[in-house]
Amino acid sequence: MDTRKHLKTAYQDEKVAMAYDEEREFRDADLSLHYETEIGALLEALKDIKGPILEVAVGTGRLCRRLRGTGYPYVGLDFSMPMLQEANKSLGSDGGGIFLLRGDAFQLPFKEEYFQAVIGFRFIKHLDPENRRTLYKELGRVMRKGGILTFDFYGWRKRAKKEGGRLTVKALRAELEESGLKLLKVYGTRHILCDILSVPFRRLKIRPVVKALGWLEIKVLSRIDELLDRSRGGIAVCQKLGT
Ligand SMILES: C[S@@+](CC[C@H](N)C(=O)[O-])C[C@H]1O[C@@H](n2cnc3c(N)ncnc32)[C@H](O)[C@@H]1O
């Protein structure tokens, strides 16, 4: 299957776009451990970023609406108009300093070395290795030297094997290095223990405990993943090499 083409076409349907957040528990009122952990890790990864941020495949804007106030300007780019319309609705009338744009992440309409950080969630991990490499090159082109690229990846899970994206941290590091990117950090977001522990608190809608479990994943369990150089899946933070 051509993963690049498939991703480009799969979200063109209005119904798919409208159901996206609800089906995955990505609405702000939901208590999704996974979503909370992603936001926590992103806020930490972006804490020193002040300059322009690009989020490719921004989708319904579920991440950017929680990351308002990080770098400025914050540009959210997506190929699907229906997904961008959902993002537009969720951002509210003034957009909160986030600029939405229709475009192709493989052919970005930006000049070289403009962005200080680039984000690409639930997008890069669905691509096959060849397309990932092509994309790293294009994202690297618009990133400043020393800038940050962060995205989620499939680690060592059965599902990932089925989708062909199963990656060890070592293999991820190697493919990034080939593309001039240095893996700085891995946040594990798929720890079975936290998943199981979160279930009753999600049912009882006790948000602080779900958030605390997310904190445990980012601050404690991720360090163990790093020591073992192994992750069931998580978030990679890397830096464009060069001075
Ligand atoms: C699974 S959704 C992820 C949305 C969002 N990043 C998230 O984490 O929820 C994949 C998104 O990638 C977008 N997409 C696919 N191919 C693209 C391309 N070549 N350029 C820009 N966006 C693309 C789709 O339109 C869709 O919104």
What integer pLDDT is reported at residue 123 of this predicted model? 96
**According to the model, what pLDDT value does residue 157 have?**
65
Atom of ligand 1 nearest to the CA of 21: 9
Residue 122: which region, alpha, beta or left (left: phi > 0; alpha: psi -120 to 50)? Answer: left
Task: Say which DSSP state 220 is in.
Answer: I
Q: Is the CB of 122 under 6 A from ligand 1?
A: yes
* Dist CA 228 CA 95 (whole Å): 42
Average pLDDT estimate for 203-223: 89
How far apart (Å, rounded) are the C-alpha atoms in residues 220 and 217? Answer: 6
Contacts of 48 (CB under 8 A, 6+ apart): none
Nearest-CA residue for atom 4 of ligand 1: 59
Q: Which atom of ligand 1 is nearest to the CA of 26?
A: 9
Phi-psi region of 110 (alpha: psi -120 to 50; beta: other; left: phi over 0): beta
Question: How far apart are the CA of 57 and the centre of ligand 1, in A?
Answer: 3
CATH number for the segment(s) 3-240: 3.40.50.150
Predicted confidence (pLDDT) per residue in 79-137, tens digit: 999 999 999 998 987 777 899 999 999 999 999 999 999 999 999 999 999 999 999 99
Mean pLDDT, the chain, integer: 90
Give the chain's radius of gyration (CA, Å).
17
Among left, alpha and beta (phi > 0; psi -120 to 50; other), residue 146 is left
Q: 30: how many CB neighbours lie within 10 A of its CB?
A: 15
Q: What is the mean pLDDT of residues 169-192?
A: 91
Residue-wise pLDDT for 7-53, tens only, equals 999 999 999 999 999 998 888 777 888 898 999 999 999 999 988 99
| Amino acid, single-letter form, for residue 192 | I
Ligand 1 center to 209 CA (angstroms): 31
Q: What is the 3-state secondary structure (H, E, C) of 142-175?
A: HEEEEEEEEEEEECCCHHHHHHCCCCCHHHHHHH
CB 96 within 8 A of CB 87: no
- Mutation choice for ligand 1 from 3, 4, 6, 7, CB with most ligand atoms inside 8 A: 7
Of 84, 140, 101, which Cα lies nearest the Cα of 117? 140
CA nearest to 176, candidates 222, 203, 137, 220: 137
- Whether 79 lines ligand 1, by a CB cut-off of 6 Å, is yes
Strand, coil or helix: what is 75?
Answer: strand
Q: How far is the CA of 204 from the centre of ligand 1 (A)?
A: 32
Domain borders along the chain are 3-240
